[in-house]
Amino acid sequence: MHWNDAGILFLILLAMISLLLVLLHRTRLGSLLHEHIADRPRRRLFLASVSFFLTFAIVRGIVFAIQRQIPPFHYIIMGDRHIHHLVLGILILLAVGYGWLSEVGTGSDSSSIFASGLMSLLYGLGSALTLDEFALWLNLKDVYFVREGRSSIDAVFLFGSLLAIGGWGAPLFAALAKRMTKQNR
């Protein structure tokens, strides 16, 4: 049984979420984000998109390493069963949905900014883990590495993530570009 492999994936994704939360709450980037994307729902959409894109890239990298037998990565196996990462994604999405039903991190006045950011990041993470294996639940068989089953889906998700980050983060990116231009003068 390779549950330690699930632990490695969990630690990598936990480190990503932690780093993003530190950047948001302990650096100037967080205040710039709040200043230039003042609308709380838009900020949550932006954070979910960033988390989606980073998770998708990390998981693709891990699967690439698994396929080339690069340690320490292996499939998550329990008994004779391969536990796909979409299972982890579904569990995270269920937890986020329950949290939002309980009004945790919804952006309402009583909800903290930290909880709002955390739930948004977890939503993006869970979505990426689940949608990365879209071909599996579409075909009800493991076609993850079949070129015909994955190449267009990969392109759509990567492009869609970048578009969403650009669209929801446009005011922030414009402000960062303006700030960098002023500093280079």
Please state, in angstroms and rounded to a whole number, the distance separating the CA atoms of residues 132 and 56.
7
| 3-26 vs 28-36: helix crossing angle, rounded to 10 | 70
Please state, in angstroms and rounded to a whole number, the distance separating the CA atoms of residues 127 and 112.
22
The values of phi and psi at residue 45, to 5°, are -65, -40
Per-range mean pLDDT, top range of 20-34, 153-167, 169-183: 20-34
The secondary structure of residue 71, as a DSSP letter, is T
pLDDT per residue as tens digits for the range 67-80: 888 888 887 777 88
Please state, in angstroms and rounded to a whole number, the distance separating the CA atoms of residues 107 and 104.
8
- Mean pLDDT of the chain, nearest integer: 83
Please state, in angstroms and rounded to a whole number, the distance separating the CA atoms of residues 96 and 159.
25
The model carries a pTM of 0.80
For residue 59, the one-letter residue type is V
Q: Summarize the confidence of residues 162-175 as an average pLDDT.
A: 82
| 113-131 vs 85-101: helix crossing angle, rounded to 10 | 150
| Side-chain half-sphere CA neighbours of 130 within 13 A | 12
pLDDT per residue as tens digits for the range 111-124: 788 899 999 999 99
